[in-house]
Chain A
Amino acid sequence: MQHTLSILVENKPGVLSRIAGLFSGRGFNIESLSVAETLDATISRMTIVTRGNDQILEQIIKQLNKLVNVIKVIDFVNGDFVNREMALIKVTVADENRSELLNIVDIFRGKVVDVGPDAYVVEVTGDGGKLDAIINLCKPMGIKEVARTGKVAMMRGTKQKG
């Protein structure tokens, strides 16, 4: 089962390597990962998407908590949370598909962020399924490149989990 973990860590050199090393050393899987500072610049938030049964997830969370630089681990498995990814998609454009592409971008509430003579760069945000969908729709037009971020997540409402 897929789990989204939000990990608050001390913003110190080598922390990413400790976490990545823990996953590889113990045979756990990282499906996606994103890291950035929080409001407090001494703390970073890592969002890791991983997969495993209950026992494996229990171990992952316990092992993460055991790292000295890890302050808090939140498992977003079945909570009420928002999650988003972003993708930049470079699509080949020709006269016959230009308006179709702009339509699709509009429907997906994306943006064209760069316009070239034969390619547009499209920016879209959403959950993984939405990004897969727009990528599939763009494929027939010809995709030159895709860059996707890892997932970031947050609890809904006023509830604050760290």
Chain B
Amino acid sequence: MKQFCVNIESKAQRYERGKSLRLKGSQILLETLVKEGVDVIFGYPGGAVIDIYHELPNYPIRHVLVRHEQAAVHAADGYARSSGRIGVALVTSGPGATNTVTGIATAYMDSIPIVILTGQVPTMLIGNDAFQEADIVGITRPCTKHNYLVKDIVELAQVIREAFYIARTGRPGPVLIDLPKDVMNSFCEYDFPETIHLRGYNPTVKGHVGQIKRAVTEILNAEKPVLLGGGGVISSNGAEEFRFIAQKFKIPVATTLMGLGSFSENDDLSLGMLGMHGTYPANMSITNCDLLISVGARFDDRVTGKLDEFASLAKIIHIDIDPTSISKNVKVDIPIVGDVKTTLKQMTEILKKEDKGKEGKKKRKEWLDQIAEWKITYPLSYVQKNVIKPQFVVEKISELTKGEAIVTTEVGQNQMWTAQYYKFTRPRTLLTSGGLGTMGYGFPAAIGAQIAFPDRLVIDIAGDGSIQMNIQEMATAVQHGLPIKIAILNNGYLGMVRQWQELFYDRRYSQTHMNTAPDFIKLAEAYGAVGLRAVKPDEVVPLIQKALSTPRLVIMDFVVEPEECVYPMVPSGSPINKMLLV
């Protein structure tokens, strides 16, 4: 068998190699990845993927060695969310593969396009309980958009192309490819498949014109309309079209957690986030509107509260690429299946034609006045005394970064305070685990974002609990010289669960008091990073400034009010206008 010697080839030769070449499975994999535009892989080697790692140095792909496979997937996810490109993770079989499951489920719930490559034992041994064997295709079937086990090298290139196509089209999502070791080290003619043919997969991109026309009529006639922006606005790159409709027709905008950044919060029309920890004006507007235009949002239970009373006075227009999202939770009047960006463009054209008298705007003055009043009566608020309030920290980070940093969060109070107090101005600047709620997501996601954007400021806003779920990635960040800033809102509690215990479980703080944590300054130093700490309110701003001017990985440890709660809060199962305010 003729072995192709890649080492002596130039890059140009490699691309010119063309068809009818006998390549090893691992080479076919990497060739095809390069052709798909992959230039970085987050991964961790192991026995079943040695063949791939052996070939990797021959290809123009950067490899980021993580310290735990879960982090590889979160980093690929952070890379994808921040850049809009597909993130790729590569891990070994068995435990390497099972460690990716949380990361995959996180990406699946938030519709993030990533491709996960897992090693597998040789095909001969599959099903044999071999060393480091796990049925990862079986395990991840319910949390991937699709997955593959490549048993025959002939299918390899085609499968990789399909995986990338499926990951990025339609409602995006994670796709896993399981690669047995013998497939990676056997040979085959390489022929880059130019076409993809999937009989059962054909997502609807353009919205139905008749439905869009009906929607336009409703929009022009509405007196109290609200736009609801979800993650779909961001993932379809439709923020510009979304903003245009809002501003041109003076429609106030609420966003979901996943939709933050789809509309600048500096705009007067912005209502902020809605839902369980949504703002008063957002929740009141949704409850009182006569038309709700939901764009790329899926009406999660944290958004709707009690379903019967959610936007019960309104007609609902629902634009979403996934037909299963429509009328799953909330019954809608005008469903439009399609890509958000494409559909909004179609809608804008029709709106421009139909809106002759500009009557819509006049009628809305009363509604906009009402919203302005809600904003003044119940703004987000907290009282700062001698102890640092976590909200204050986020507010100052927001001011000092002008709302332009890429912000990742962990999950819990830190996430909600970030959503409330960081004023997002652009899409793809908030990376947060919205659907699955994965603690330990933020830091590895920040690594992925910083790899995608080496020159931008990336901040992980964390709690003292969740940062410890993937703290080992400090080594990854230092190894790659990534100047990420970690802000720990250190309250010594698993704060969100403690808050529920305080409000709904008789203050029985069962197992939420984390009274033993590492000294984060020493920890940072141990990893070769910088650790800073603020204890008093007047230390906060200088500390953030110092961190921002330090071109290294920095942990900012903010010792904050231990028993602060996130408000407003809608108790689980209540209507969203029944908020607990401060």
Contacts and interface: CB of A to CB of B under 8 A. Distances in A.
Contact of B200 (A25, A58, A68): A68
Interface string B141-171: 1100110010000000000000000100000
B324 A59 contact: yes
Contact of A17 (B141, B327, B328): B141
A144 interface: no
B200 A70 contact: yes
Given A63-B324, A66-B323, A68-B146, A17 B199 contact: no
Given A59-B328, A71-B199, A71-B200, A66 B322 contact: yes
A72 B324 CA distance: 15
Contacts, number: 38
B137 interface: yes
Contacts of A70: 200
A62 B142 CA distance: 16
Nearest to A55: B327
Contacts of B137: 14
A72 B200 CA distance: 7
Nearest to A66: B324
Contacts of A59: 324, 328
Interface string A17-53: 1100110010000000000000000000000000000
Interface residues of B, number: 17
A17 B138 contact: yes
A21 B141 contact: yes
A85 B234 CA distance: 50
B131 interface: no
B167 to A, nearest CB: 11
A18 to B, nearest CB: 6
Interface residues on A, range: 20 to 34
Contacts of B149: 13-14
Contacts of B199: 10, 71
B323 A65 contact: yes
A68 B198 contact: yes
A66 B138 CA distance: 18
Nearest to A63: B324
Interface string A48-89: 000000010011001101111111100000000000000000
Contact of B201 (A17, A25, A62, A68): A68
A10 B146 CA distance: 14
A131 interface: no
Contact of A9 (B141, B200, B201, B323): B200
A18 B141 contact: yes
Interface of B: 137-138, 141-142, 145-146, 149, 166, 198-201, 322-324, 327-328
19 contacts: A9-B200, A13-B149, A14-B137, A14-B141, A17-B138, A17-B141, A18-B141, A21-B141, A22-B142, A55-B327, A63-B324, A65-B323, A66-B322, A68-B145, A68-B166, A68-B198, A71-B199, A71-B200, A72-B200
Given A18-B141, A68-B146, A71-B200, 14 more contacts: A10-B200, A14-B138, A14-B141, A14-B149, A17-B141, A21-B141, A55-B327, A58-B327, A62-B324, A63-B324, A65-B323, A66-B323, A66-B324, A68-B200
